[in-house]
Amino acid sequence: MRPYELIKAKREGHSLPPDAIRTFMDGYTKGAIPDYQMSALCMAVFFKGMTAVELGAWTRAMLESGEVLDLSDIPGVKVDKHSTGGVGDKVSLSLAPLAAACGVPVPMISGRGLGHTGGTLDKLESIPGFRVDLSVADYRRMVREVGACLIGQTATLAPADKKLYALRDVTATVDCIPLIASSIMSKKMAEGIDALVLDVKTGSGAFMKRQEDAAALARTMIGIGAEMGKKVVALITDMDQPLGSAVGNSLEVMEAVDMLGGCAPADYTEATLALTAEMLVLGKVAKDEQEARGQLQEAIRSGRAVKKLEEIVRWQHGDPVAVTDYARLPRARGVVDLAAPADGVVTGIDSEAVGLAAMALGAGRERTDSVIDPGVGFLLRKKVGDRVRAGEPLVQVHFNDDAKLEDVKRRVLAAYRFGPSAPVPRPLVLQRLQ
Ligand code: URA
């Protein structure tokens, strides 16, 4: 099929033959098919969707556009976790060492923050010396010898996605479930994993604002996994308020270490335990969730989880002492408390608004080339359901630039909603799909 015919067939709602999808994707990756034809096809997919067979072929073509790592010589079931992104989402920082401490090898390729959401790589890089640009050989060695490695996307993994994502970004075709699902799964499948846990977030700070859209995305990714012979479990989790207390890179590292020591906010702790327990079951080191949770608690109680994080940090050239001596992490120059304006109960916190305020403070990126300030951010002293008194500290703001402070304080305060009584508590894990 010529590119024109393929675009027209999709525009008319026909399903495309897998080999034609493959040829089109290969041509696009090599530059033989121009951006305008790929953007027309993406727009046709946006309106007409793809069948499971088409989506499998589309994802496989993206996956095989580059190197597909083979970790089959490393013992154990290799399991990773992917989150669709949120505000205060530092789960990977605690989940990877916990899973590794319990015997599940975790090959993790993560991303950077953009807009209101943070990125695991930026958080890790706030640990002095920490490097996320290890070679594939070092990545393999760490997965084998340490049990976990957290690096950034390499140029050789799923290059079609890199090119396509940039194109979708400027052609209004990002928010399309089959295109999102294939983009995420092609990158994850290139890592060399055997199984995957998905944290699909929903709520004010999430990509998918409505739970039914989050579930549809999760089901699509599970379907792609099945087509590729990989077991995928998805948890739909709440992002209607930021996760935990800390928002900002080094503040989130501290909260992650607190979690591994057993003393972090309940929502963040539950997110980590629920997702890691799924990894332990998929990794065949626990027979069910209850047994997995017992193993995780033991790794926390014994100190093995914190030790595993120190080991990861040391192997990735970071300062392992910073894991327990927070004075070695970057800190902001100024710290001020933002006071509650009146007596009442916190009934909502707009996660996206908090994420954008953190970005304005310097904790996040407005553009892909923006420079991050690792020490700045917020500690949310009050979360949804908490009672507050007028003048009581609501949010602690860690800042470096006085000129930004007043605007940021105004924005964070505007993100809070208050009422006379607490709303019905929303569970953190809203749904489980497999
Ligand atoms: N994240 C991705 O990796 N790809 C998308 O298409 C959207 C979010």
Beta carbon of 180 within 6 Å of any ligand 1 atom: yes
**pLDDT value at 213 more than 90:** yes
Q: For residue range 219-278, what is the model confidence (pLDDT) as tens digits?
A: 999 999 999 999 999 999 999 999 999 999 999 999 999 999 999 999 999 999 999 999
Q: For residue range 116-158, what is the model confidence (pLDDT) as tens digits?
A: 888 999 999 999 999 999 999 999 999 999 999 999 988 889 9
Q: Residues 78, 112, 140, 168: which is the catalytic one?
A: 168
3-state DSSP call for residue 47?
Answer: helix
Classify domain 330-419 at the CATH superfamily level. Pyrimidine nucleoside phosphorylase-like, C-terminal domain (3.90.1170.30)
Termini Cα distance of the chain: 36
187 assigned to active site = yes
CATH of the domain spanning 3-49:
1.20.970.10
* pLDDT for the residue numbered 78: 98
Distance CA 76, CA 73 (A): 9
Cα 184 to ligand 1 centre (Å) = 6
Mean pLDDT over residues 332-339, rounded?
97
Which residue bears the tokens 């100024």? 334
For the chain, the structural domain boundaries read 3-49, 79-323, 330-419
Q: Are 255 and 249 in contact (CB under 8 A)?
A: no
Q: Are 278 and 253 in contact (CB under 8 A)?
A: no
Q: Are 41 and 10 in contact (CB under 8 A)?
A: yes
For the full predicted model, state whether its pTM sits above 0.75: yes
Q: How open is the CA angle 226-135-56, to the nearest 5 degrees?
A: 20
For the domain made up of 79-323, give the CATH fold: Pyrimidine Nucleoside Phosphorylase; Chain A, domain 2 (3.40.1030)
Q: How far is CA 64 from CA 2, 158, 186, 189, 409, in A?
A: 21, 7, 8, 10, 47
219 assigned to active site = no
387 assigned to active site = no
Average pLDDT, the chain: 96
Beta carbon of 165 within 6 Å of any ligand 1 atom: yes
